[in-house]
């Protein structure tokens, strides 16, 4: 299920996470940063629905979301999938040094890297995954020396630090709740029984995702393995 949402300007000065939190709290008549059930929920709605906004590492929320469902809540996990990023680099005084578009582009198949730890939740009737495709603005500040990030994530030190991510534009939302929502991501034209090579052959752009797609889908499960032939695992849709 998809829906178009117009460009958002109202909250452009907020961080990406806080912007989406405000938007979804307004949309679902919820309150933000609510303590309940031993957790602090991003949004708790009047009807008991829990909404969590997570920009990366979705699997880290698996335990929290499972517990919320066990406590009787319906859960909506909102994941902003970045299509394009505009990178604005400033000096320490706030003067813009550069303003450019990142060459990297995201696509819907990137979610398979994020949901590996959520496969046991994805078809739970109380769970909904909402993928929000966005354009984002990333703000960086130039440093005098090459530095490491606080979480030590850099392989090499660089002379800038990321200080904020802002929502520029919401392009589309896509909701995943039922088996057909996930199997719809398989390319059209696959044989009834298919392997990773068939996915890559049918849709060459998916060649780097093919094995991951199958790994996730068979564990949800929305497909099942039928046989192993010539060292390739074959599957069919359930």
Q: How high is the pLDDT of residue 14?
A: 59
Residues in the chain with pLDDT values less than 70 = 1-14
Q: What is the pLDDT, as a whole number, of residue 235?
A: 98
Angle at 96 between CA 94 and CA 101, to 5 degrees: 130
- Extract the runs of DSSP E, i.e. beta strands, from the chain: 2-3, 30-36, 39-45, 50-53, 75-90, 96-101, 127-147, 158-176, 223-229, 232-237
Distance of alpha carbon 30 from the chain centroid: 21
**234 - beta bridge partners?**
227
- Report pLDDT digits (tens) over 39-80: 999 999 999 999 999 999 999 999 999 999 999 999 999 999
b/e per residue 22-33 (b: at least 16 CB within 10 A): bbbbeeeebebe
pTM above 0.85, yes or no: yes
Whether residue 134 contacts residue 168, with contact meaning beta carbons closer than 8 Å, is answered with yes
Q: 96-111 pLDDT, tens per residue?
A: 999 999 999 999 999 9
Number of DSSP helices (H) and strands (E) in the chain, helices first: 6, 10
* Distance (Å, whole) CA 238 – CA 230: 23
């Amino acid at each position: 299920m998809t829906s178009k949402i117009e460009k958002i300007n109202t909250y452009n000065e907020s961080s990406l996470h806080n912007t989406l939190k405000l938007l979804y709290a307004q949309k679902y008549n919820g309150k933000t940063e609510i303590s309940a059930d031993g957790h602090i929920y991003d949004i708790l709605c009047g009807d008991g629905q829990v909404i969590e906004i997570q920009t990366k590492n979705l699997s880290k929320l698996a335990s929290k979301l499972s517990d919320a469902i066990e406590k009787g809540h319906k859960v909506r996990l909102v994941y902003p999938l970045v299509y394009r990023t505009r990178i604005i680099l400033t000096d320490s005084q706030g003067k813009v040094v550069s303003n450019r578009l990142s060459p990297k582009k995201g696509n819907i198949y990137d979610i398979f890297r994020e949901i590996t730890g959520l496969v046991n939740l994805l078809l739970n009737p109380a769970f909904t995954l909402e993928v929000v495709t966005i354009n984002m603005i990333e703000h960086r500040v130039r440093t005098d020396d090459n530095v490491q990030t606080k979480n030590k994530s850099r392989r090499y030190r660089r002379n800038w630090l990321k200080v904020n991510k802002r929502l520029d534009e919401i392009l589309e939302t896509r909701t995943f709740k039922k088996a057909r929502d996930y199997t719809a991501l398989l390319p059209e034209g696959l044989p009834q029984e298919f392997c990773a090579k068939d996915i890559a052959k049918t849709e060459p752009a998916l060649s780097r995702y093919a094995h991951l797609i199958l790994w996730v889908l068979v564990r949800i499960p929305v497909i099942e393995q039928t046989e192993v032939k010539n060292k390739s695992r074959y599957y069919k849709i359930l």
